[in-house]
Amino acid sequence: MATPTDSVELVGDEVTGNVARAVLFAAATSATAPVDMVHPLAPNVPITLQTLWVYLAGLVLGPLWAGVAFTLYLLAGLIGLPVFAGGNAGLGVILGPTGGFLIGFPLGAMAIGAVAHGTDGLTAPGEIPVPRVVAALIAGSAVVYAGGAVGYALVQAIGLVASVSAVVVPFLPVAGLKVAATVAIVRSEGLVAR
């Protein structure tokens, strides 16, 4: 006795597309892992392009799927793929001085998606008003930097104020450049979200 299978749909096209986009963002973030620079005022924390991908994921994927993308990214690093800054991997990186930033990635991406898109579903990134995009990016940056500052303070056994001075303040101009680049990217006609 045969069972017809032509009408069976295990996963809908929308979910499949969202999973594919989440994996794409995780992969793109991973591809930029080897590209890092030493910050002259904070040599223990590298400058990377990875937060740019956090910003874009939140705007393009929305809160849920941006969170999924960066959870996949963290899982890839945990199992040993060289996806963290400098091509590093493993639990030791997450438990190290910069691990708080990594933990902040999915949370920051979710915050960006929530502020940018609200509760009405996804809006094409180019159609989100620029002030709202900037507010979303600032909120997401605050989440990522808060995670980084707390993680650094715990691992280095220093106070939170000293940690913010060491690993947040020197990076604010860099974050400003990434916010500007993200706004330019989402306002370009080449970016299509769906």
**Which domains does the chain possess?**
16-187 (1.10.1760.20)
Residues 6+ apart with CB under 8 A from 141: 51, 55, 108, 175, 179
Higher pLDDT pick, 167 / 22: 167
Model confidence pLDDT, tens digit, residues 129-153: 999 999 999 999 999 999 999 999 9
Helix (H, G, I), strand (E, B) or coil at 189: coil
**Which of 132-137's residues contact partners 24+ apart within 8 Å by CB, and which partners?**
133/59, 133/182, 133/183, 133/186, 134/179, 134/183, 136/58, 136/59, 136/111, 136/112, 137/55, 137/58, 137/112, 137/179, 137/182, 137/183
Strands 36-39 and 42-48: what pairing? antiparallel
Model confidence pLDDT, tens digit, residues 82-113: 988 888 899 999 999 999 999 999 999 999 99
- Report the pLDDT averaged over residues 59-72: 92
Share of the chain above pLDDT 90, in %: 56
- Taking the C-alpha atoms of residue 98 and residue 103, their distance in angstroms, rounded to an integer, is 9
Model confidence pLDDT, tens digit, residues 19-52: 777 777 677 766 666 666 677 677 677 777 889 9
